[in-house]
Chains A and B, each alone.
Chain A
Amino acid sequence: MTNQWKLKEIVLMAVLGVVFGIIYLGFFLIGQGFRNVLAPFGLGQFGYEIIFGIWFIVSIIAAYIIRKPGVAFTSELIAGVVQVLLGTTAGPQLILSAAIQGAGAELAFALTRWKDYRLRILVFAGMGAAIFSFVWNLYSAGNIALAPWLLTSMLVVRLISGALLAGVLGKWMSDQLAKTGVLRGYALGKERRKQREKGAI
């Protein structure tokens, strides 16, 4: 699989991992803000649920830009490794969590045979990652001990977060990037050019 990928595409995934490594920090602070408000009611973890979707955004952006099978999975995995290099306090296990999330996002693209990159598919990918990570967290974070009504509402919040913060935001950011002209050498940039040429005719 990796043989079909260009080195620049792999470096791109790593760079996404680094840039979002910086951006995650910002979101982590927002999450803590929510947490502080919700904590007295015992709903502090919800603070992080709200922003959880941002963790899947690398998958969405990379897949939307590069458009090849396996990109959603691998980019999330690479972002996980980069987080470990950056010294994350989630430790090497994060690589495993990243792989699971990435698989969830990849599933959505695989169902369309990696041909459809419209917004709805990106949203599905974000929700796929949300479901996979939710199941994994039942075990890894001990969430299985929580009351069913709480788990259900956590899942709903995470699904919405995945749909919006990963799917919608990911597409929006990639489109913004495409406008700057730096994606000329990638599938998304090429698609844009074709659209423009068609429009011109």
Chain B
Amino acid sequence: MKKEPFNRILDVNNFSFSYENPEAPLLNNLLFSLYENETVLLIGASGSGKSSLALCLNGLYPEAVEGVSSGNIYYRGKNIREFQKGELNQRIGIVFQDPESQFCMIKVEDELAFTLENRKIPSLEMPQRISQVLHDVGMEGVEKKKIHELSGGQKQKVALASVLLLEPELLILDEPTANLDPLSRVEFIDLLNSLRQKRDLALLIIEHEPDDWLDMTDRVLALGSSGKLIAQGPANTIFTKHAARLKKEGVFFPKCYMPENKNFGVRAPLPSSEEIISVKDLTFKRKRHTVLQNVNLNIHCGEFVSIAGENGAGKSTLLQLMAGLLPYKKGKILFFDRELQQWNQKELRKQIGYVFQNPEHQFITDTVIDELTYGMKLNGYTEEKQEDAATRLMKQFHLMHHRFSNPFSLSGGQKRRLSVAAMLDQTPDILFFDEPTFGQDASTTGELMHIVRQLQAEYDVTIVFVTHDMDIVDSTDRAIVLHDRNIIFNGNPEDLWEREDVINQARLRLPYRIRGIQQEGVIHDLIH
């Protein structure tokens, strides 16, 4: 049985908020309450103002952005405008999405002390509190470590620890796992689940992919695209009764409530046996540290290959090597039977495309159109040909209305599409993707996979993906798993899911398709 919520912590009363124009508010006339000890999931379409709501609740907005608000928010019956600066922040803590930009100190202990100093806790008590909270989040003994040397999952735990030191009553989590690998994500969620019980915390979780949180959720709030609250209630009613409405508003669904499992497209016809890239006995060292040791790998024309593995296993390095972005000394990489290093750079760049994790890193011009024609200009296309090709790409990638927009000012999904389109000024033979879905929402991911499938089917482009997303791995022709400087699995994804040893070693996770079946199996076993 779930705990019965008693007292209200927050009352949001006809609250509206906008950055600039009060006529078209981002958050529109919200009315809801949050109770002690309850866990609430806040869902909504991209850009529906979920993150802004979090910052309104702890009183930082509208002031921090000079926005406009109307209506009231009460914390324990007291209007939040009446709180001293900084006072409310200590009762309502927030953990943010990006692990890079929520710290101000270099070392873990200093970051945690920062919170305690803000609360004016006596210096003598600090070391004990710091080691206690690190113990609570399962990070004992990292006091003296530098934060930027920790992994993403560890950083988020430190972020959580620093917020827990506020001893808040309500903890808001703004997509805290969006940038984590699958296993770190599960670990983080488990950690929160046990903490909320130990510490009597109320949680407000903002998530694009709510599946893993559903077990601990008491209630769901759904924000619509116009900034209105369109539904609230227990998960099983929200995702069934209000399903049609939510879909219309572009809210993402947990996979378990989807009518049929949406797979990332069908497999393309079998690839040819011709090898586009073959890696032979490749060893790569960075300074004295060996990143890859004696790696052997063949990729066939028209194939869709995924490379998975833990952070630091050398996935991106392997990808950069195969794309000719890093020089190597030991071993061979053949591209169409010719050593990579013997290729003319210009020729090579025509045939190899590479899409980076952060689309912004690829942008080099001021407008979408210039971005698309950049490579064509370098290769001496006529104006006419440039225009034709660019128009075709803008149509295909739904960028027609953004012809003269600055690439940086596009939305996340548009940036992603543009970064791929810019690689297609001439159809490359092979396209590399370095974690292109990292930190992106479900619809952007779905869109990207659709495009990739199209490229593979229509133009016979070979695709290589480095990814943490096991649902994507599941949909590829071949999965390669890197671990400890070497390939420990190379074969059909179907077979990978059978190899528990590989999954555990490389800190992978089964795709939803298989997990779903297993869960049903457990329930089935319980009933019988």
Which A residues are closer than 8 A to B by beta carbons? 6, 8, 176, 179-182, 184-185, 193
- Nearest CB of chain A from residue B363's CB, rounded to whole Å: 9
Decide: B20 and A180 in contact? CB cutoff 8 A.
no
Interface residues of B in 61-96 (CB under 8 A from A): 64-66
Decide: A179 and B64 in contact? CB cutoff 8 A.
no
Decide: A182 and B408 in contact? CB cutoff 8 A.
yes
Complex alpha-carbon distance, A182 and B406, angstroms = 11
Give the 10 A-B residue pairs with the shortest CB-CB distance, closest first: A180-B408, A181-B409, A179-B406, A185-B65, A180-B406, A180-B409, A181-B408, A179-B366, A181-B406, A179-B409
Complex alpha-carbon distance, A179 and B404, angstroms = 11
Q: Which residue of B lies closest to A6 (CB)?
A: B64
- Collect the chain B residues with CB atoms within 8 Å of residue A181's CB: 406, 408-409
Q: Which residue of A lies closest to B63 (CB)?
A: A6
Fill in one digit per residue for B15-46: 1 if any A CB lies within 8 Å of its CB, else 0: 00001100000000000000000000000000
Complex alpha-carbon distance, A31 and B64, angstroms = 41
- Collect the chain A residues with CB atoms within 8 Å of residue B406's CB: 179-181
Complex alpha-carbon distance, A182 and B66, angstroms = 15
Complex alpha-carbon distance, A182 and B409, angstroms = 8
Decide: A8 and B64 in contact? CB cutoff 8 A.
yes
Main secondary structure of the interface of B (DSSP, over half): loop
- Nearest CB of chain B from residue A79's CB, rounded to whole Å: 18
Contacts A180-B406, A181-B409, A185-B66 aside, 14 further interface pairs with beta carbons under 8 A come to: A6-B64, A8-B64, A176-B366, A179-B366, A179-B406, A179-B408, A179-B409, A180-B408, A180-B409, A181-B406, A181-B408, A182-B408, A184-B19, A185-B65
Which B residues are closer than 8 A to A by beta carbons? 19-20, 64-66, 366, 406, 408-409
- Collect the chain A residues with CB atoms within 8 Å of residue B409's CB: 179-181
- Nearest CB of chain A from residue B256's CB, rounded to whole Å: 37
Complex alpha-carbon distance, A190 and B64, angstroms = 15
Complex alpha-carbon distance, A179 and B365, angstroms = 12
- Nearest CB of chain A from residue B366's CB, rounded to whole Å: 7
- Collect the chain B residues with CB atoms within 8 Å of residue A179's CB: 366, 406, 408-409
Complex alpha-carbon distance, A181 and B408, angstroms = 7
- Nearest CB of chain A from residue B89's CB, rounded to whole Å: 13
5 A-B pairs (CB sep. < 8 Å) = A6-B64, A180-B406, A180-B409, A181-B406, A181-B409
Complex alpha-carbon distance, A6 and B19, angstroms = 17
- Collect the chain A residues with CB atoms within 8 Å of residue B19's CB: 184
Q: Which residue of A lies closest to B363 (CB)?
A: A180
Q: Which residue of A lies closest to B408 (CB)?
A: A180
- Nearest CB of chain B from residue A84's CB, rounded to whole Å: 15
Q: Which residue of B lies closest to A193 (CB)?
A: B20
- Collect the chain A residues with CB atoms within 8 Å of residue B66's CB: 185
- Nearest CB of chain A from residue B156's CB, rounded to whole Å: 21
Q: Which residue of A lies closest to B101 (CB)?
A: A11
| Residue of A8, A179, A182 most packed against chain B (CB within 10 A) | A179
Q: Which residue of B lies closest to A177 (CB)?
A: B408
Complex alpha-carbon distance, A180 and B405, angstroms = 9
- Nearest CB of chain B from residue A190's CB, rounded to whole Å: 8
Q: Which residue of A lies closest to B65 (CB)?
A: A185
Complex alpha-carbon distance, A176 and B19, angstroms = 22
Complex alpha-carbon distance, A13 and B19, angstroms = 23
- Nearest CB of chain A from residue B67's CB, rounded to whole Å: 9
- Nearest CB of chain B from residue A131's CB, rounded to whole Å: 34
Complex alpha-carbon distance, A180 and B367, angstroms = 10
Complex alpha-carbon distance, A37 and B155, angstroms = 49
- Collect the chain A residues with CB atoms within 8 Å of residue B408's CB: 179-182
Complex alpha-carbon distance, A185 and B63, angstroms = 11
- Collect the chain B residues with CB atoms within 8 Å of residue A8's CB: 64
| Residue of A180, A185, A193 most packed against chain B (CB within 10 A) | A180
Complex alpha-carbon distance, A185 and B62, angstroms = 12
Complex alpha-carbon distance, A185 and B408, angstroms = 16
Complex alpha-carbon distance, A198 and B19, angstroms = 18
- Nearest CB of chain B from residue A174's CB, rounded to whole Å: 14
Complex alpha-carbon distance, A44 and B234, angstroms = 75
- Nearest CB of chain A from residue B98's CB, rounded to whole Å: 15
